[in-house]
Each structure stands twice: as structure tokens, then as C-alpha cells.
Amino acid sequence: MKLKISAVLLMMIMGVMPATAQNLVVNPSFENAGMPSLENWDINCYAESSEDAPEGYGEWSMRLESGNFEGCFPGIATQILPDIVYSPSSVPVVNLSGWMKTEEGFQALSKIGLGVPETGELLFSVTADSMEWFYVELVDTLLNLSPGTAYGVILDAGSIGGPGAAHTRFDGISLTMTGSFNKGDVNADGTTNIIDIILMVGIILNFNTPNEYEQWAGDMDLDNDIDILDIINAMLIPIASK
């Protein structure tokens, strides 16, 4: 029996997902012309092709071995996505999804996430622990990107503390960019106008406590504070667009 359960976290999304959003992941189903392939994925410990896939996703998947605190760690497979980059004036909104299936025996907390492949650090992730194919999906606004850092998809088979290993199968990995938000757009409606200015004034006067996105959008000059200079900069955006 196939399980298809979608765990969706929607953050600050007020637009419509493009109908033809491109999957930025290369070799998302771990096969090429019907043959098994782990090309384009960097394996930290050990992985192999498995002739087991969710319905509609070909014949093959990746069987990834968990990390072991007494051996190889972490048990991850990664792929850098060059299109995910820091911008001082906008943030991308992404949709990350895929299938996971754990094995009987050692259990580890498996994840699909977006983060820094070089270190294994995750910006966000979604977990699953099912011995049937399990579909997960996560939508997030990438507010915490840093300049000069390479970001990508991280498949994590979890970790165990003693001899042995756990294994997780992954398949159908997808990451699409569904939109973006710009500095000054405090209410996330796609434009910067008097409503955003009013919201920024309310924040300055302590009438409103900004959430993480509002703080990012209102901080026009990147000094980690919202003040009168940010209001002036935000007011210049409608003028510049005319």
C-alpha cells in the first residue's frame, strides 16, 4: 500500500504558484533512461540504487545509509542548487517535496531539507518515519540566506549511536521557486505602498511587534532595525517604479 500524506507549512505565501515551476533538482528520481543512477548527488557516507520506487516515479530510488556516531557521520546526500542565492533586496519562496521510506530495524530520524551541503546545516526540513512510501511537502520563505554561501537539497538518513546502520529510501525529490518577496513589501501583497508605510510606523511606535518576515521586509537599509530611514527608503520605491 502506498501512503501519500502531504505535510505542508505555508509561510507568508499570498501569491499563486506558477503552473510550470521548474524543478531545480537534477536527477530527482535517481535513474537515467530506466537505469539506476546516483549522478549529480554527493554522498557523504554510503548510498546505493534500490529497485523500489513509489508509483509513478520510475523503478529506482536511492537507498541512503544513516550516519553513525562511532563511524561515518552525517549520513547525507546533497546537491548544490546554484539558483538559490542571497539577495539584499528580495527573498525566494520555495516548494520542497519528495518521497521517503524507512526500513525495519534500526530507526533514525530521516529528513528532506534545504541547507548548506558543505556543512550539512539545514535551514528547514521535513521528517518522516514510515516503512511505506511517504510523501512530504514543505513551502518556505528563505529569509536567512547569507552572501557567498552555496545552498542545496540535503537528504538525511538520520543517525544512530552504536554498531549497525539504518537505511532510508528517497525518490521524486523536487525543489521549485514559487515566487519572491521584496524589501518594503511588509504586508506581503506584492507591492510597496502607503499600507506598508503605515505598518512600519506602527512598528517604530511599538504599536505592532513584527514577525520575522515583517522585520526583514521593513529593514530597508539592512541595519537590523526599522526606523525613519527605512520609511524614507520604502517611500522611494513607488516613486522609482513610476
Q: Is residue 39 part of a domain?
A: yes
| 208 and 159 belong to one structural domain | no
Q: Is residue 159 part of a domain?
A: yes
Within its chain, how far is the Cα of 141 from the centroid? 8
| 192 and 110 belong to one structural domain | no
Q: Residue 210 belongs to what domain range?
A: 183-241
Convert the pLDDT of each residue in 172-199 to its tens digit: 999 999 999 999 999 999 999 999 999 9
From 181, 204, 233, the end of a domain falls on 181
Q: Is residue 123 part of a domain?
A: yes
Q: Is residue 92 part of a domain?
A: yes
Tell me the CA end-to-end span of the chain in Å, nearest whole number: 57
Q: Is the pLDDT of residue 2 over 80?
A: no
Q: Is residue 170 part of a domain?
A: yes
Scanning the structure block, which residue is given the C-alpha cell 529510501?
169
pLDDT of residue 162: 73
| 113 and 177 belong to one structural domain | yes
Count of domains for the chain: 2
| 37 and 148 belong to one structural domain | yes
- Look up the CATH number of the domain holding residue 50: 2.60.120.260
- Look up the CATH number of the domain holding residue 196: 1.10.1330.10
| 234 and 197 belong to one structural domain | yes
| 121 and 204 belong to one structural domain | no
| 157 and 188 belong to one structural domain | no
Q: Is residue 18 part of a domain?
A: no
Convert the pLDDT of each residue in 86-140 to its tens digit: 999 999 999 999 999 998 766 678 999 999 999 999 999 999 888 999 999 999 9
| 132 and 224 belong to one structural domain | no
From 136, 154, 181, the end of a domain falls on 181
Q: Is the pLDDT of residue 220 over 60?
A: yes
Q: Is residue 20 part of a domain?
A: no
pLDDT of residue 20: 58
Q: What are residue 80's DSSP bridge partners?
A: 152
Band (27; pLDDT cuts 50, 70, 90): very high
Distances (CA, A) of 138 to 11, 160, 177, 189, 233: 10, 25, 12, 21, 33
| 167 and 191 belong to one structural domain | no
From 129, 150, 181, the end of a domain falls on 181
| Mean model confidence pLDDT for the chain | 88
Q: Is residue 234 part of a domain?
A: yes
| 198 and 220 belong to one structural domain | yes
- List, as one string, the DSSP characters of 113-180: EEEETTTTEEEEEEEE--SS-EEEEEEEE-TT--TT---EEEEE--EESSSS--EEEEEEEEEEEEEE
pTM of the model: 0.86
| 158 and 207 belong to one structural domain | no
| 144 and 94 belong to one structural domain | yes
Convert the pLDDT of each residue in 132-168 to its tens digit: 999 999 999 999 999 999 999 999 999 887 777 889 9
